[in-house]
């Protein structure tokens, strides 16, 4: 949908998924993975219909199916990324309804899902409102929409600007404050709130753009360990913002 002003192309995501991921569930030793798992555990129950928008390469969706026992579906418009998701589900003997489609022309029926989730999708649009509306349209009345974006509104933005400012250009930085994110909620939702979440994470910063790869990996490993040991969320250190909508 051109009116939404995509800041990335399908070629960008095809390239992003050009390397095959390991055929296993995501590791909870990665603080970014653990943050998402903690969020989803609060909202997903066995038997719920769960949709992930932008699901490639399928790791988190597979975890929801395996650990939370939801009835999962996934949508992505990158064919290589979706192919990896299908391979992963097959390797893990999991069932999921995985469709390579554009969200604005999806064959999933409106009002079909108890939980509609995306991570790192809406910030790649100049105007995210239409895509947020599509999330809500796919949720059942009474259902939940969970949208997460990277928190490039404070500390992480300043550090990433030093290491990889070009990466920031494919993100809509204007929505990276809780108030701006909450303002994207369409009319008709029962409730909307936006908040920072998660523990200190190195994975929002491309250290390897300026430092030798071994050094970058060592620094990221240390910071990841600090995040795993952090007992509570601290807003200034939270690597993601969450938009939580109740339909």
The whole-number pLDDT of residue 6 equals 72
| pLDDT tens, residue by residue, 206-240 | 999 999 999 999 999 999 999 999 999 999 999 99
Chain position carrying tokens 């998701």: 85
Chain position carrying tokens 């753009």: 209
CA distance 136 to 49: 14
The whole-number pLDDT of residue 163 equals 98
Sign of CA dihedral 209, 215, 216, 219: negative
SS3 117: strand
What is the DSSP-derived secondary structure letter of residue 113?
E
Are 16 and 24 in contact by the 8 Å Cβ rule? The answer is: no
Q: Strand order in 113-119's β-sheet?
A: 97-100, 71-76, 49-53, 113-119, 139-150, 240-246, 191-197
| pLDDT tens, residue by residue, 5-52 | 776 666 655 565 556 778 899 999 999 999 999 999 999 999 999 999
Are 61 and 74 in contact by the 8 Å Cβ rule? The answer is: yes
The whole-number pLDDT of residue 18 equals 57
Count of other CB atoms within 10 angstroms of residue 119:
22
| pLDDT tens, residue by residue, 187-215 | 989 999 999 999 999 999 999 999 999 99
When pLDDT is cut at 50, 70 and 90, the band that residue 2 belongs to is very low
For the domain made up of 2-152+166-200+233-246, give the CATH fold.
Rossmann fold (3.40.50)
Residues 94, 100, 104, 108, Cα dihedral to 10°: -40
Structure tokens, 171: 């993100």
| pLDDT tens, residue by residue, 61-78 | 999 999 999 999 999 999
Are 47 and 209 in contact by the 8 Å Cβ rule? The answer is: no
Q: What is the pTM of this model?
A: 0.92
The whole-number pLDDT of residue 21 equals 76
When pLDDT is cut at 50, 70 and 90, the band that residue 1 belongs to is very low
When pLDDT is cut at 50, 70 and 90, the band that residue 3 belongs to is very low
Domain boundaries, the chain: 2-152+166-200+233-246
Please name the residues in contact with 114: beta carbons below 8 A apart, sequence gap of 6 or more.
48, 49, 50, 139, 140, 143, 144
């Amino acid at each position: 949908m051109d009116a939404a002003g995509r800041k990335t192309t399908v070629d960008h995501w095809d390239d992003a998924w050009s390397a095959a991921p390991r055929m296993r569930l995501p590791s909870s030793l990665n603080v970014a993975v653990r943050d998402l798992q903690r969020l989803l555990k609060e909202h997903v129950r066995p038997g719920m219909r769960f949709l992930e928008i932008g699901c490639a390469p399928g790791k988190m969706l597979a975890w929801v199916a395996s650990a939370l026992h939801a009835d999962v579906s996934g949508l992505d418009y990158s064919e290589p990324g979706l192919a990896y998701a299908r391979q992963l589900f097959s390797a893990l003997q999991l069932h999921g309804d995985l469709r390579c489609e554009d969200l604005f022309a999806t064959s999933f029926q409106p009002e079909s899902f108890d939980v509609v989730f995306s991570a790192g999708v809406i910030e790649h649009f100049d105007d995210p409102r239409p895509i947020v509306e599509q999330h809500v349209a796919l949720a059942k009345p009474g259902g939940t929409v969970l949208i997460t974006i990277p928190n490039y509104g404070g500390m992480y933005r300043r550090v990433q600007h030093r290491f990889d400012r070009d990466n920031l250009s494919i993100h809509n930085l204007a929505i990276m404050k809780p108030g701006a994110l909450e303002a994207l909620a369409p009319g008709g939702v029962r409730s909307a709130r936006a908040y920072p979440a998660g523990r200190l994470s190195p994975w929002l910063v491309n250290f390897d753009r300026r430092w030798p790869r071994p050094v970058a990996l060592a620094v990221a490993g240390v910071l990841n360990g600090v995040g795993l040991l952090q007992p509570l969320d601290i807003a200034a250190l939270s690597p993601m913002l969450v938009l939580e909508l109740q339909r």
